[in-house]
Amino acid sequence: MSFGRARRADFLLDPQLTYLNHGTVGVTHRDVLATQRAIVEEIESNPARFLLRELADPQGDLDGEPRVRQAMVPIARFVGTDPDDTVFVDNITTAANAVLRSVPLGSHDEVLVTDLGYGGVSNAAAYVARRAGATLTTVTMPWPAVSAASYVESIAAAITSRTRLLVVDHLTATTALLLPLADIAAACHDRGVAVLADGAHVPGNVPLDIVALGVDWYAANLHKWAFAPRSCGILWCAPHRQADLHPAVISWGLDHGFTAEFDLPGTRDPSAWLAAPAGIDVLHGYGVDAVYRHNHQLAWWAAGTLSERWGTPFVTPESMIGSMVTVQLPASAGDDPRGVQQALHDQRIEVPVMARDGALWTRVSAQVYNDAADIETLADAVAAL
Ligand SMILES: Cc1ncc(COP(=O)(O)O)c(C=O)c1O
């Protein structure tokens, strides 16, 4: 299987675009979209039967295995969980709200988030802390990253006797760092702190074995790197936490068990969830290890090439990089992230640009449809700004 330009035809991407932004909202594969369309047509052949008698079993009275549960089997195998401990959600925000609203908090308690975390999820943590009269503390994390261990140390140092919960990215949002999550979880548990991990970018980006990480809850998107249609994510919950966990939107499954509560959040289009196994099939069709290898090698090459061309430092260890990398732009690019982003959009280059610590940065995603020529295009465009 050859990757790069040859794979562009597998996606609907505008051929004129240099698309280095897979991480932001994913790009769905043609085969997965076809599967999703077929599911929509199947639903429409008898919507009442499909949605009321085949899709989910919130009250425990269906004869066969509900379609949502069937779809979860290959997903759980891919991410290293038991399907009975794993539910579909529309996205990380939905999953995080469910967990955050289910954790009992009092006015003496503290919730930790990090300054590398995703803003929408940190807002949800701020909201629940505010309602409970609890304290929300934002841990300052090292940046740029020079060692994985320093992240464990920063988090451990921030924990107090009042800390109940840490919300932490497994692969950080705009900075694209693979954090040592198992070590972070162990440090938190040693101090009596529960861990909600945000793995928005992880499935399909780097190998994943959720149970082995030892966290309490793990939320992930499948619509980014696992080629599922949007809106499709998962929430895994450790068995001992399930009795206390409820979706943010309560429906028919209340008090019928963990999966029953999440599997039918009212009437909605379930086609993205049910087509998610087709995304895993695509990864296997390409060769999962070959995808990881191509994407990581291209991201790592981009780190070296762009930082050298732009004359900016890059100090992050390779072990903290998956299929995305965040690189500092040269001072000649100026200090207006929106202006730079617009200038790149005008040249049909799609990458995020952000300001951090007085400099501009771009996060480059490497996917099967990318190759060195895309990186060169970005390098030249930024150098010419
Ligand atoms: C760490 C992280 N969490 C969450 C999200 C997105 O959240 P949602 O899936 O709810 O849109 C992103 C998006 O890029 C992210 O980087």
Structure tokens, 95: 């999953």
Residues 21 and 73 in one domain: no
Range of the domain at 335: 5-27+287-383
* pLDDT value, residue 239: 98
Atom of ligand 1 lying closest to residue 173 CA: 16
Q: Answer whether residue 34 is part of any domain.
A: no
Q: At which of 281, 302, 318 does a domain end?
A: 281
CA 68 to chain centre: 21
- Ligand 1 centre to CA of 20 (Å) is 17
- Residue 98 and residue 102: Cα distance in Å, rounded? 6
Residue nearest to atom 5 of ligand 1 (CA): 200
Task: Identify which of 24, 92, 230 to mutate to test ligand 1's pocket (most ligand atoms within 8 A of the CB).
Answer: 92
Cα distances from 141 to residues 45, 123, 150, 324, 343, in angstroms, run: 52, 18, 8, 19, 31
Residues 250 and 360 in one domain: no
Structure tokens, 364: 């480059």
Residues 146 and 211 in one domain: yes
Structure tokens, 271: 């086609």
- pLDDT over 90 at 1, yes or no: no
- Residue 371 and residue 33: Cα distance in Å, rounded? 24
* pLDDT value, residue 265: 96
Task: Please give the average per-residue pLDDT across 254-274, as a whole number.
Answer: 97
Three-state DSSP at 38 gives helix
Please state at what angle helix 372-383 crosses helix 337-346, rounded to 10 degrees: 120
Dihedral sign of CA atoms 101, 196, 140, 355 in order: negative
Taking only the tens place, the pLDDT of each residue in 183-232 is: 999 999 999 999 999 999 999 999 999 999 999 999 999 999 999 999 99
Which of 244, 277, 236 has the alpha carbon at shortest distance from 96? 236
Residues 258 and 350 in one domain: no
Contact 365, 323 (CB under 8 A): yes
Residues 255 and 375 in one domain: no
Q: At which of 281, 296, 317 does a domain end?
A: 281
361 burial level (CB within 10 Å; 0-12, 13-18, 19+): buried
CB of 350 closer than 6 angstroms to any ligand 1 atom: no
Q: Answer whether residue 33 is part of any domain.
A: no
**H-state helical runs in the chain:** 22-25, 30-45, 47-48, 67-79, 92-102, 119-132, 149-158, 181-190, 210-213, 258-263, 271-286, 288-310, 337-346, 372-383
Taking only the tens place, the pLDDT of each residue in 72-117 is: 999 999 999 999 999 999 999 999 999 999 999 999 999 999 999 9
Taking only the tens place, the pLDDT of each residue in 166-185 is: 999 999 999 999 999 999 99
- pLDDT over 90 at 281, yes or no: yes
Domain total of the chain: 2
Mean pLDDT (the chain, rounded): 97
CB of 205 closer than 6 angstroms to any ligand 1 atom: no
Residues 9 and 133 in one domain: no
Taking only the tens place, the pLDDT of each residue in 14-65 is: 999 999 999 999 999 999 999 999 999 999 999 999 999 999 999 999 989 9
CB atoms within 10 A of CB 150: 13
Taking only the tens place, the pLDDT of each residue in 336-377 is: 999 999 999 999 999 999 999 999 999 999 999 999 999 999
Map tokens 């800390």 to a residue.
Answer: 163
Structure tokens, 339: 């202006």
Atom of ligand 1 lying closest to residue 117 CA: 1
